[in-house]
Structure 1
């Protein structure tokens, strides 16, 4: 089923994106490694091997997205799997740890420019890539979009005072993932009558640069649900929001 399929993974030059690209290539897919930095993307593609091709892709740059679409169109002609993985938690390089990040992200003090910058990557970026890649997805007989979110974006979960991370909900990263969830729902509704499946995934608290390497899950464990959903066949459902292994997360 996976052999010969074409995938694009955004933010694939490190962390979970890199792991997802590696596992999809191992499963037999031809993987386009999306990376804002071309040299880092090339290094990852070289490491993965013949099943991977680097493509320069900055999800905040429409010209970059259009160029990536053209590369995939000209070399593969279609796209079967789109994994919108690229994300950031902050633009502030002076932040030392998660506690400081949360304190500085409180709605009473966080700069609006910081919110806009994070949302540009985490919420608007996946929508921009989806719009650009849709013609390629329509060229597939079994296309699937996998948007990588977070349980931190679940309003039902985060509104519960007993949830361990309840106090960590803020208008920067957490709310950007809530916005992504809403945008993904809009994609799901739009594609209900088509053959394009759209799924939302929470990978868990991965130990990556996104959280200053203070996560509790390994990259390998965090990537599992993304890979599982990306490899689902055409009979598998659309419109789900899950974590490993297929456990549903409330919206």
Structure 2
């Protein structure tokens, strides 16, 4: 994995009978954490489903350009389904098998994934006994077990308490080194704590693409929010919806 590895969108579109259309989007996402921000219905989950190959584009393309020769993609949907009766280690062994990790490497891959998200001490715990925050971290481990170049995390902190959100953000930051990580979120503290880059979507179009410091410059005094970052996001999302 190198800084030249990237996820590339070329005039990507997805249209629905409801009238909603994502795109056209043309952009490249490089290593580090990119936060995808926008109101409900802006197209965040649609983008993730296209990137993960769950849905096909109506036109254009999206794919990974990997100069290192490695690739692979890990996807944590907004509401992952985890088998409550399995242990964490059993579950990750099964996922490693599904991802075609060689038999000799599966135990090590499962252990490494658990270590990366801070769940090594819960390897033998039944998933049904885990807290909400631990289940989310296990979901990230499930997306990581085959060591993908691209990691897609759809609203990973939703429904967590403040302490759980901090632990999850720390786990995401730890696994983002030399990896392309895209995180969709509604939460300003996620953007502040994670983002190397921010992409704001509004009604299927890009309303902003840049770093946090440049984003804050869009804040206005009359916009809702307690910080420049909150106000700037409010301004751009409102403008995109007009």
State TM-score, norm by structure 2. Answer: 0.31
Q: Which structure shows the higher helix fraction?
A: 1
TM-score by length of 1: 0.30
- Give the structure with the larger strand fraction: 2
Q: Which has the larger radius of gyration?
A: 2
Structure of higher RCO (CA pairs closer than 8 Å, 6+ residues apart): 2
